[in-house]
Structure 1
Amino acid sequence: MSALRKMLNLPPKESQGGEGTSTVPADAAVSAPTPTPTPAGTGEGATLVRTPPVLGWAEEEESAGRSAMRKVGRVAIWLVIGLAAFTGVRTWIFPAKPQAPVQQTDPLAAARKNNVPEAEAQQVAARFARSYMNWNSQTPELRAGELEADLAQGLDPKMGWDGSGVQMVAQTIAGTVTQVGGKRARVLVDVRVSTVTGGGKNQRTVSTWRGLEVPVAQGYGRVVVTGEPAIVGMPTAAHYNAPDGPEADTQMSGQTRGTVKEFLSSWASGSQDQAAAPGADIHPLGGGMEFDALDSWVVDAGSGAKRTGTATVRWKLGGGQLQQTYRITLTKVSASSASRWQVEAVTSKTA
């Protein structure tokens, strides 16, 4: 505490009563008169009382460096005290506001508000495309009535048709919805159409796919067609490099070929549960199919109680033959001391 008292220019602390030490520096000049006994009372038997000496303080000259350090320390202490007082008062008057939670914003949210609902747009466009591409000169009013159900009010239901000819629609498939903003969009619809050409013995029906792009918009309460659709081109074939197939296990393929052939025959006849492994979930093929031949069966190299292979099969249906490729999974079923391979799953092949 002596250093702090010097920095604050305070006098040294006085010694406590009863202490035997003095705070007077050793080199201080002390002048004290010789105590003179003072009689305490008169007469015979009076005692003499000694008056304690009076001690004086001698000033010690302080060096310039020490005085400067004391002043700097005093200023620093008062600065800290002032800063603490200022910040405390400021927080009382202007308390810190809690930080606002950061809201996650979706930059595409505003754009989506102006989109047409895709599911409804596809439904309306597919229905409209069926009516639009289906006509018969004998009953032109049927086509117009169906188109009016999905057209915006005020549009001509003939939609460019001259009223002649015959064309039939077998199927429509709604595809890509292109949003153009302002609650408007274009829907691509694939349409399977059939036309009759020739007459008499030369008459024949020709079927083909057409691409139709239908303009739609979000109206009052529902999606409507806003104008004439346009026939567009269909996608062409794209090139694809199939990955290399797995190595074959020739021995396993020969051992299980009979098992696979027996299952395929049972599958075609509707009794696949008898040839499949216990717990297998293989749905029946349905009537009108007959197993013709197992052209190839190759098991992938591997080990374990489950093995998978590729089967090339020929079916008889519709008066002809259809060759197909399957991925068939076998599992080893054990009973008592015997075990055998059975079919557990059948799927299409993915190249």
Structure 2
Amino acid sequence: MVPEKSQGLARAGRIVLFCGAGAVCLLALVALHGILDPHPAAAPQAAPAPGPSASAYPDDAARAVAVRAVRAYLTWDEKKPAERARELAGLLATGVDPQLGWDGRGAQTAGAVVPGAVTAGTGGRARVRVEAEVMTGAGPSRWLALDVPVLVGGGGRLVVSGAPALLGVPDGAAAAPEPTPRPADLAFSAQTRAAVADFFRAWATGGGPQVTAPGTVLPALPDGIELRTVQVWEAAPGTGADRSGVARVVWAVGGGEITQAYRVTLTRVESARAGRWQVSGITGDDLT
């Protein structure tokens, strides 16, 4: 009896002998490989899709779910304990206890909740820094900081993967930058001061479009704001039909006064009779 493998080699030899053109030989070689190796290696499996990288993490969605979770997490009432768990349940990853460590006693309410930085990890995980105001009914409110663990779950949905961790709130303010000297065109400032003051006065009373450059659209200020004075108008040095400067303005609002600074852009508008400077843009500016 001829061994099975020898029989296979003999058959392979006959196939090769009858090879003709290149295409037929290729088929013979494929057949030969199948005879000599009847157990081919399995096809490589695709690697599992990784979670989003740090640069592609859905930061906005992570902040949104973290804010909702912190508001529910820091609000509880021992008389209605099920409400907190119900609010949290829809935000948590499968298998996470909706009590999130609360012992079921006491009462407090979360007020303002402010999201901060998102630090992405691996496997779709991240930490979201959140600051929240908490009120207990006894004494003033206080601010807490927390790191909230989030996870990109099935279908890309963001969920909270565990209990947030309490952290300290920084109590020191960063030093303000040194004031930068701002050169001013005093002659042009004096020439255009009335136009700037007229704009702010009209802006506060809903008449802004009457004193702005053609094509300029500025939303009106809300009711209840009155111009007290334009304390300072300093135009920056420059030339041409577009100039800019800083205006320091005092508003009367809410029974008091508040001083604010604006960066104002002026555009020269020419007509058949004369030319004039009108406001064509306005943004906030610092007071330094």
* Fold in common (TM above 0.5): yes
TM-score (norm 1): 0.60
Could you tell me which of 172, 188, 213 is aligned with 2:147?
A: 213
Stretches of 4+ aligned residues off by more than 4 angstroms: 109-117
Give the match's secondary structure for 2:279.
Answer: strand
Report the Cα offset of residue 307 of structure 1: 1.8
Q: Is residue 130 of structure 2 the alignment partner of residue 189 of structure 1?
A: yes
Could you tell me which of 259, 275, 280 is aligned with 2:211?
A: 275
Report the Cα offset of residue 164 of structure 1: 4.2
What residue is the counterpart of 1:130 in the other structure? 71
Give the match's secondary structure for 2:121.
Answer: strand
Q: Is residue 102 of structure 2 the alignment partner of residue 168 of structure 1?
A: no
In structure 1, what residue type is equivalent to 2:175? H
**Larger RCO of the pair (alpha carbons < 8 Å, separation 6+):** 2
The answer for unaligned runs of 5 or more in structure 1 is 1-108, 199-205
Instruction: Please show how residues 55-134 of structure 1 align to structure 2 within 5 Å.
Output: 112=52, 117-134=58-75
Give distance in 1, aligned partners of 2:209 and 2:141: 39
What residue is the counterpart of 2:175 in the other structure? 239
The answer for unaligned runs of 5 or more in structure 2 is 1-48
CA distance change for structure 1 residues 335 and 191 in 2, over 3 Å: closer, same or farther? same
TM-score (norm 2): 0.71
8 Å CA contact 1:246, 1:301 repeated in 2: no
8 Å CA contact 2:197, 2:230 repeated in 1: yes
8 Å CA contact 1:137, 1:165 repeated in 2: yes
Give the match's secondary structure for 1:309.
Answer: strand
CA distance change for structure 1 residues 207 and 336 in 2, over 3 Å: closer, same or farther? farther
1:273-327 C-alpha deviation (Å, 9 max, x unpaired) = 1121222121111222221221111111222222211111111222222211001
1:244-287 C-alpha deviation (Å, 9 max, x unpaired) = 24311222222222211111111111111112122212111122
In structure 2, what residue type is equivalent to 1:229? P
Give the match's secondary structure for 2:65.
Answer: helix
Could you tell me which of 212, 236, 239 is aligned with 1:303?
A: 239
What residue is the counterpart of 2:80 in the other structure? 139
Number of aligned residue pairs: give it. Answer: 236
Give distance in 2, aligned partners of 1:150 and 1:273: 47
Give distance in 1, aligned partners of 2:51 and 2:94: 27
Larger radius of gyration: 1
In structure 1, what residue type is equivalent to 2:167? V
C-alpha RMSD of the superposition? 2.7
8 Å CA contact 1:126, 1:174 repeated in 2: yes
Q: Is residue 158 of structure 2 the alignment partner of residue 223 of structure 1?
A: yes
CA distance change for structure 1 residues 124 and 111 in 2, over 3 Å: closer, same or farther? closer
Give distance in 1, aligned partners of 2:72 and 2:277: 54
Give distance in 2, aligned partners of 1:127 and 1:162: 21
What residue is the counterpart of 1:317 in the other structure? 253
Give the match's secondary structure for 1:196.
Answer: coil
Give the match's secondary structure for 2:194.
Answer: helix
1:119-139 C-alpha deviation (Å, 9 max, x unpaired) = 443332221111111223443
8 Å CA contact 2:73, 2:84 repeated in 1: yes
